[in-house]
Structure formats: structure tokens, C-alpha cells
Chain A
Amino acid sequence: MIKVLFFAHLKDSIGADSITLQMSGESISSLKKAISEQYKVDSLHTVMAAVNEEFADESTILADGDIVALIPPVSGG
């Protein structure tokens, strides 16, 4: 199982702080695609991803027990 944590407005769009998905062996890119389809949210293309508190690129393969954080690059200042 993969635990996915949502930050900023993603929490509101998804309707939860975190979810758990059966996506071991899949890439970050497939995970983002699955989430945006399942929850009908805007594209997660520019959202930054961290796996177990380390930045991860789109091709990173997820392993059972990984914790993924999805962090939108907000721009306010």
C-alpha cells in the first residue's frame, strides 16, 4: 500500500488530508494520473512529489509502505 499526503488546496480538492492506494510497483507519474482521474481534480502535472521525505521525479517507482507527499508549487508572496 502507498500512503499519499496532500498539501495546500489539494486537500480541499481531494476532500482528505491523505489516502491509501494499491500502487506498489507503479511510477509517480501513474500515481498522479490515477488520482486526478479518480478524484476529478485539475492536472497534477506541475505538482511536486516527495517519497519518504525526499524529492522524487516522475519515473520513480513506488514500493510497498512508501509515503508520498504531493506539494503544489504555490506562488503567493
Chain B
Amino acid sequence: MSERYSRQILFSGIGEQGQHKLAAKHVLLIGAGALGSANAELLVRAGIGKLTIVDRDYVEESNLQRQQLYTEKDVEQKMPKAAAAKKHLEEINSDTEVHVHIMDATSQSLEPLLQNADLLMDATDNFETRLVINDLAHKYNIPWIFGACVGSFGISFTVIPGKTPCLNCLLRAIPLQGMTCETAGIIGPAVQMTVAYQSAEALKILTENREVLRETFVSFDLWSGQFHNIKTGKSKKADCLTCGSDPSYPFLQLENTTKTAVLCGRETVQVRPPYAVELELERLVRDFSAMGYEVKANPYLVSAQNENERIVVFKDGRALVHGTKDVIHAKSVYQKIMG
């Protein structure tokens, strides 16, 4: 191995052997926002063989404060995040093969990419996609690493099919209206700490050091100094529909996904939530206001307007995104609010 990786090879947990293993591994990274760009850079610098990135978004000015791969030029050119990431990653390390897919991550679009993936990295911004990743990981027996952050707070957990509990075991209900970076803000260090936990686990998996994986669900707050390492041993559910004895992979079923439809003759996309929900409209008003929207509400719906679009959300979670015919954009706007 070249001088390039000499310091990493000196680290006893990796060594020459570990470095060779890294060079033979393929990681599928879902999301190229804050967690995605930082995880991508770490893995590419560490010398993994191949990285595949999936992302549906393009680079905006408000990303630059924490999404470390992107530049002002990417904002000016409205570069898709995946394409901008590929360009910068190839400049950082030409040893790693970088493949990108500029698309919405769904069970249908991700499934063909799982061939020969050694690890799935979560860098998404919503629980719907995470539960799809969780199902796919179990269906194809591939480990995945959950990570999420808002404000100064972050959480991470490593899911090993057949061994640890899965995300579906840990969540007792699907968190719609979860806190997002758009509604609660985020500081760069919370991203970096979440990525440090995710990527350290990734290095262990990719160098085949699974015996030293952290088995706890980690949660931290860098502003208050809180830290919690939570044991998960008792959380694995025998009847879990994802990782239990008779799995049906519920989040891969089409009926359990967010549906979008362009409304005829109007610049409007209708978005329907994947599950039956009853929203707390007062909280939605606060979330929209925090995101800089001008908000009006009545007991049935919330209407929010900014310079780009007007969104009307009904109590049953259905939304109309006015001012666009782009269903992927509408879904992205919707999930940024709902989590």
C-alpha cells in the first residue's frame, strides 16, 4: 500500500490487512446532504474501493454552512448534490470509484443498487426512507448505519441483520412531524459528531472487525454536554415485520409509501402520507413559521407561503404543493417539514 494510507495502516485496528479489505469494499450512501457529504469524504479519504451515492436534491446557499463538500460555485450552477459530490470526491481520492444516481431513494429505485454492496449508510432526512433502508438491509442481509441530527443533538445506531434489533423494533410508531434541520436548525458540530460515530462503525464493518462494533444506541447533545449510551439488547422483537421470524418487509410495499400526483391543469402536486395520521396543526404552524413561511391556519388545514411555493397541509397529512409540477421536488418539500 502507498504512503497515502500509512497513518491509517499504523492504527492497530486496521493495519495492512484492513487497508486491503477497505480497498475491496463497496458502500451505498443514501443522501448527500450534511451527513452524506461528511460520510462520503471520510470513507473516500480512508480508501474504500467503491462508493455509490443516491440523492434527489441540488445545492442551495443554506447548505454551505454544514455540507462540507459543496462550494459557492455549486450553488451558482445549481449542481445536483450527487454530481457535485462526485466531482469533489474524485479530486480528493482518484483510487475510489464513485458512482452517483440523481434520483429519489425509494424501495424500487434502491433495490437494483444493492448487488455487491457491503454496507448501507443512512444520510437521509426522513424516517420513511430510513424504514425502506431498514427493510432492504434485512431482505438482502447487509448491515446499515442509522444517523440523524438536529440543533446540537444527534443519534446513531448500527443495525446488523440477524443480530441487533432493527429500526422498526426501536420505533414504536412512525415519527411523522419529527424534528428536521429545516424546522429546528442545525450546527455543523452536530453533523460532524454524528458522522464520527457512523463512520467509525463503518470502518469496523468494512475492515471486518465486527466484534468491536458499538452495540448501543448513542445520543448526544454538544451544547449541553449530555451523552447517553443506551443498551438495546432487550429491544429485538421476535414478531417484528422487518427482522422477526416471519418478515413481510412492510416498508417495501407500494401502499406504504408517500404518494404524489400532479393535479390536472394546475401547477400543483398532491402529496399523501404513507400511513394514516392525524397532525398536530399548532405544531405545524410553529414549524412552518420557523422555516420562514407566512402561515395561515384554521381547524382543518395550514396554508404556508414563501417566495418559492405555497403549501396547504390538511389534518390527515395530505398536502397540496402549489407552484410546481415536479413531484420529486414536492415530496422533498413535504418530507423536510414532516421529517
- B129 to chain A: closest CB distance in Å? 10
> Does B274 interact with chain A (Cβ within 8 Å)?
no
Report yes or no: B180 in contact with A54, Cβ–Cβ below 8 A: no
Tell me, in angstroms, the Cα distance from A17 to B181 when the chains sit together. 21
Q: Which residue of A lies closest to B171 (CB)?
A: A73
Interface of A is mostly: loop
> Does B36 interact with chain A (Cβ within 8 Å)?
yes
A to B CB contacts below 8 Å, 10 in the list: A17-B226, A48-B171, A53-B231, A55-B230, A72-B178, A73-B171, A73-B178, A75-B125, A75-B178, A77-B125
* Interface residue tally for chain B (C-beta within 8 Å): 49
Report yes or no: B179 in contact with A75, Cβ–Cβ below 8 A: yes
- A16 to chain B: closest CB distance in Å? 11
Report yes or no: A74 in contact with B173, Cβ–Cβ below 8 A: no
Q: Which residue of A lies closest to B339 (CB)?
A: A75
> Does A58 interact with chain B (Cβ within 8 Å)?
yes
- Please tell me which one of the listed residues A17, A58, A74 contacts residue B150 in the complex, with CB atoms under 8 A apart: A74
Report yes or no: A55 in contact with B179, Cβ–Cβ below 8 A: no
Q: For B178, what are the chain A residues with a Cβ–Cβ distance below 8 Å?
A: 46, 72-75
The contact string, 1 if C-beta is below 8 Å from chain B, for chain A 46-65, is 10101001110110000000
- Specify which of B174, B219, B231 lies most central, judged by the most chain A CB atoms within 10 Å of its CB: B219
Q: For B153, what are the chain A residues with a Cβ–Cβ distance below 8 Å?
A: 7-9, 74
Given contacts A42-B283, A57-B235, A77-B149, 8 further A-B contacts (CB under 8 A): A7-B221, A7-B226, A9-B179, A53-B230, A69-B228, A73-B148, A74-B154, A75-B150
Tell me, in angstroms, the Cα distance from A23 to B40 when the chains sit together. 46
- Please tell me which one of the listed residues B170, B179, B221, B232 contacts residue A76 in the complex, with CB atoms under 8 A apart: B179
Report yes or no: A53 in contact with B172, Cβ–Cβ below 8 A: no
Give the A-B pair count, Cβ closer than 8 A: 119
- B285 to chain A: closest CB distance in Å? 12
Report yes or no: A43 in contact with B280, Cβ–Cβ below 8 A: yes
Which chain B residues have a beta carbon within 8 Å of chain A's beta carbons? 31, 33-36, 122-127, 130, 147-151, 153-155, 170-175, 178-182, 184, 186, 217, 219, 221, 224, 226, 228-235, 280, 283, 339
Tell me, in angstroms, the Cα distance from A15 to B126 when the chains sit together. 27
Report yes or no: A46 in contact with B175, Cβ–Cβ below 8 A: yes
- Please tell me which one of the listed residues B36, B174, B230 contacts residue A77 in the complex, with CB atoms under 8 A apart: B36
> Does A71 interact with chain B (Cβ within 8 Å)?
yes
Report yes or no: A71 in contact with B219, Cβ–Cβ below 8 A: yes
Q: For B31, what are the chain A residues with a Cβ–Cβ distance below 8 Å?
A: 77
Tell me, in angstroms, the Cα distance from A77 to B146 when the chains sit together. 10
Q: For A43, what are the chain B residues with a Cβ–Cβ distance below 8 Å?
A: 280
Report yes or no: B127 in contact with A75, Cβ–Cβ below 8 A: yes
With known contacts A73-B171, A76-B125, A8–B150 Cβ distance under 8 A: yes
Report yes or no: B125 in contact with A73, Cβ–Cβ below 8 A: no
Residues of A3-60 contacting chain B, CB below 8 A: 5, 7-9, 11, 17, 42-43, 45-46, 48, 50, 53-55, 57-58
